[in-house]
Amino acid sequence: MSIMTVIKFEKYQGCGNDFILIDNRKNNVQLSKNQIFSLCERRFGIGADGFIEIIKTENNHFLMNYYNSDGNLSSLCGNGSRCAVSYAHKKQMILNNASFTSNGIKNKCRINGVDVEIEMNAISKINKNELGHYILDTGSPHYIIFDSIKDEELIEKARAVRYSDTFPDGINVNWAIEIGKNELFVRTYERGVEDETYSCGTGVTAAALAYAHEYKIKNDIIKIKTKGGNFLIQFGEEKEHFENVKLKGAATFVFEGEITI
């Protein structure tokens, strides 16, 4: 006989990128890959782009694990991290200025109402291929195409890149177009979700830095619009790399509940 487990959860969204969050500091919830996949499934589960567990807090700092909606433990998720910051702040685990660790990397964060800002890693390697497309890692690997894309073509073209032999571990695929001075509209196909999401934090950061690299923009702020909301990407001068990179946007509570698995 299988033992049923009741899980308390909260649902958050960061610019349309949505996540299931649980407090697992007591390590009393052990979920399999298939169970996480089922929770994230939109027709038979709660529905989310990803699953996050808070596993430890100490001295205004917390540790989190992030899982894609396919149930696999994943690399840094910018929007997921911002939602985790909002969740931890609501639960009084952290103050307005705090830090967190995801995937072994420590990042600073700041909360101002619904806006959550996180510091990203310095970027020292930006590649441009023979097609004029950019490849860089902002905590997760991203492929940036500066062009528009038709709705009916996005999935097919994204998967051709995502599953290419060039990227054996897969890659996220982004299309970015300039809509104003230092302002982009970005669409992202996320590996692990295997679909377009309403936004992607590491994706908009990658697009902003690729844009800054292309046009030699230094010490500035790039505005990003997505289907799910707006971001500000701030960065320091490029001295062979981008530093002091910050991702800022809204992260909000949606609902809470219990589910039996």
Q: What pLDDT is stored for residue 34 in this prediction?
A: 96
As annotated, the active-site residues are: 77, 200
Q: What pLDDT is stored for residue 2 in this prediction?
A: 59
Residues of the chain with pLDDT under 70: 1-2, 240
- For residue 222, report the phi and psi dihedrals to the nearest 5 degrees: -105, 130
Distance set, CA 258 to CA 5, 8, 44, 189, 230 (Å): 10, 4, 15, 30, 31
Q: Are 210 and 136 in contact (CB under 8 A)?
A: yes
Q: What pLDDT is stored for residue 125 in this prediction?
A: 87
Tokens of 167: 């990227």
| pTM of the full structure | 0.95
Instruction: Please name each of the domains of the chain with its CATH number.
Output: 6-119+251-260 (3.10.310.10), 126-244 (3.10.310.10)
Of 186, 90, 84, nearest to 144 by C-alpha is: 186
Which runs of consecutive H residues, i.e. helices, occur in the chain? 33-40, 78-90, 151-162, 201-214
Residues 6+ apart with CB under 8 A from 2: none
Q: What pLDDT is stored for residue 1 in this prediction?
A: 45
Residue for token digits 């609902």? 255
Question: Is 91 exposed, middle or buried, given 0-12, 13-18 or 19+ CB atoms closer than 10 A?
Answer: middle
